[in-house]
Structure 1
Amino acid sequence: MSHANTADAGPAPFFFRTRDLTAQGWRGRDVRAASATGRITPLRRGAYCAPATDTDCIEAARSRGRLACVSELHRRGVFVLDHAARHIHIPGEAARLPTTPTHGHVHRERLSRAPHPRSMSVEVLDALRQAVLCQPPRAAIATIDSALHLGVFPHDELDELFAALPRRYRRLRRLLDSRAESGPETLMRLILRTIGCEFHVQVRISGVGRVDFVVDGWLIIECDSEQYHSSWEDQKRDRRRDQAAAALGYATYRPIAEDILWHADEVRAAIVGLLAGRGARRSVPKAG
């Protein structure tokens, strides 16, 4: 009495109905027993999903909606600035909800693409469109970069995405760069653009390896995150890379991702100070 085929149909989780189970030979008592023992997860009357389904998708389906916007993109591994609140799309005709979504944001606009009737999330194009509207422009660029880099959204559908957005957002397109491997890298690139310095991205330096940015030919900037730089082994590797770069005449600046995301002005000031101080003689403070 397997329900795997009806519960899992690709990247977007699908729900199934009682009639799907009865078509596979389930009886009413089988459905009740499976629900009681956790073999299937009840969503609402007559609707179920696999127990391993994403919690946010389950809560969206219980509200007769679909996971949307930054929540759906985060579920797919795409960078978003803040995913604390659950974003749900509720069809306009669903005026009365079985439950009221809490601690979240409800979208009711018409979707550009109709999801599969059993899908528990919106299509990626609509999630991106919603995320652009819900985030600051810098974060929106980072989100699109991330979706392109990960292959979650294809480059050849950018025309459709920007056609679905208000005209004022079209200026963001020229700032996209899918080479960015993380949201902080995109945000750092945008910071560097405001400084007016010369910089190159994803530069490979002999004896050092690939670095995120090289600014004005001598300053390496690496965008560190806790995920890949938290252990002592990671830190030793980073410091040895910096040491190898120093031997070649490079200086390295490693702002943490948290500051790039939330304290961009401080990061910008640090870079401006480093560039201004190149070659400047400074007096050494006296001891004591």
Structure 2
Amino acid sequence: MDAETFLQRSAGAVPVLTLRQFCDDARQFLRRPDVHLRAGWVVADFTPEPVRAAVMSQGLLTLSHAALAHGLPQLERPARVHLAVPHSRSHRPPHAGGAVIHRDRQALGHDPCRPWLASVATTVRHLLRWGTRVDAVAALDAALCKGLLEVTDLRLPTHGPGAARMHDWAALAAPGVRSILETMLRLQLVDEGMSVETAVLVDGVGEVDILVDGWLVLEADGDTHSTRAQMLHDRERDLRLWDRGFVVMRVTWEQVRHERVTPIVRAVLGRLGPLPPPERPQFRRWLERPAGVLST
């Protein structure tokens, strides 16, 4: 494989030793004016800007760009690149361009295979410190669900700027949440003071997204629910839930994004509730909230 193709398939950044090992034309490629070598890593002008800025500035790509690189959901594509550097690094990193620089007093963890990328734990911690609540909680939800992170890995500060908010937002994480749509919906319901359970297993039905007051099921339908086969499957689940004494509501991305769901949920609870929750057999498994976040 030629060096340019190899670099493109490696997210635009690769160790120079690896490039020389696998590409016969590496020497000629490294002489090109659009190819840059920094701290043993090769990038090019065609390398995505976030990766190139992190490598050239010797900072860590963090916040939303890093979350997306780890497969963690974010509400929108980030408009600016965010880089993290040690707090002791007082000067602005060279070649950072228009990136936002965050100086962190805590140890910065990096991805083992991509040293220019903040680790999952560092990324989530930075989102809790400098990101939005939805993005931070959604990333933490997904990291816990995928097994990429344990709450003990976060090591949030006990004092200092933003510490209280970081702990408050981290406490909002819930187990079994698989999409940012579910995270947004749950946060809206919690903000209204409603009693919410997530990833609840119902006998004969399977897992439901959100259970309010023990009897109202909310299913957040994303793009995967648009096929005919999935719609038939969803309707069968709904019938089984109704048969077991639950009330079912299905909501869409647009309805949640525009905060149209919570007023309707409040109205349903007022008109139909309080209803006795359906019986919960002893063998039903209920997922518990994660333990509290450890501090340093």
Give TM-score, length-normalised by structure 1.
0.71
Q: Note if 1:263 corresponds to 2:258.
A: yes
Secondary structure of the residue that 1:235 maps to in structure 2? Answer: helix
1:285 alignment partner in structure 2:
none
2:293 alignment partner in structure 1:
none
2:240 to 235, 241, 244: 244
Secondary structure of the residue that 2:240 maps to in structure 1? Answer: helix
Secondary structure of the residue that 1:48 maps to in structure 2? Answer: strand
Q: 1:195 to 1:55 in 2, by over 3 A?
A: same
Q: 1:196 to 1:68 in 2, by over 3 A?
A: closer
1:78 alignment partner in structure 2:
72
What is the correspondence of 1:176-195 to structure 2 with a 5 Å cutoff?
A: 176-195=173-192
Q: CA deviation at 1:231?
A: 1.8
Q: Give the distance between the partners of 2:163 and 2:150, measured in 1 at CA.
A: 21
Structure with bigger RCO (C-alpha 8 Å, 6+ apart): 2
2:27 to 20, 27, 31: 31
Q: Note if 1:137 corresponds to 2:128.
A: no
Q: 1:48 to 1:111 in 2, by over 3 A?
A: farther
Q: 1:133 to 1:199 in 2, by over 3 A?
A: closer
2:163 alignment partner in structure 1:
167
Secondary structure of the residue that 2:129 maps to in structure 1? Answer: helix
Q: 1:179 to 1:209 in 2, by over 3 A?
A: closer
Identity of aligned residues (%): 25
| Alignment check: 8 A CA contact 1:115 1:122 kept | yes
| Alignment check: 8 A CA contact 2:137 2:183 kept | yes
CA offsets, 1:106-144, max 9 Å, x none? 224136334569722123333223212333334422322
Q: Note if 1:42 corresponds to 2:35.
A: yes
Q: Note if 1:67 corresponds to 2:61.
A: yes
1:283 alignment partner in structure 2:
none
Q: Give the distance between the partners of 1:186 and 1:90, measured in 2 at CA.
A: 26
Q: Give the distance between the partners of 1:190 and 1:207, measured in 2 at CA.
A: 28
Task: Give the counterpart letter for 1:272 in structure 2.
Answer: R
Task: Give the counterpart letter for 1:210 in structure 2.
Answer: E
Q: Give the distance between the partners of 1:196 and 1:231, measured in 2 at CA.
A: 34
1:276 to 266, 270, 275: 270
Secondary structure of the residue that 2:198 maps to in structure 1? Answer: strand
Q: Give the distance between the partners of 1:115 and 1:193, measured in 2 at CA.
A: 32
Question: Which of 1 and 2 has greater Rg?
Answer: 1
Q: CA deviation at 1:76?
A: 0.5
Secondary structure of the residue that 2:72 maps to in structure 1? Answer: coil
User: Is there any run of 5+ residues in structure 2 with no aligned partner, and where?
Assistant: 274-296
Q: CA deviation at 1:100?
A: 2.4
Q: CA deviation at 1:233?
A: 1.7
1:15 alignment partner in structure 2:
14
Q: 1:109 to 1:59 in 2, by over 3 A?
A: closer
Q: Give the distance between the partners of 1:211 and 1:274, measured in 2 at CA.
A: 18
Secondary structure of the residue that 2:104 maps to in structure 1? Answer: coil
Q: CA RMSD in A?
A: 4.1
Worse-superposed segment, 244-253 or 41-50: 41-50
1:284 alignment partner in structure 2:
none
Q: Give the distance between the partners of 1:98 and 1:194, measured in 2 at CA.
A: 42
Q: Which has the higher helix share?
A: 1
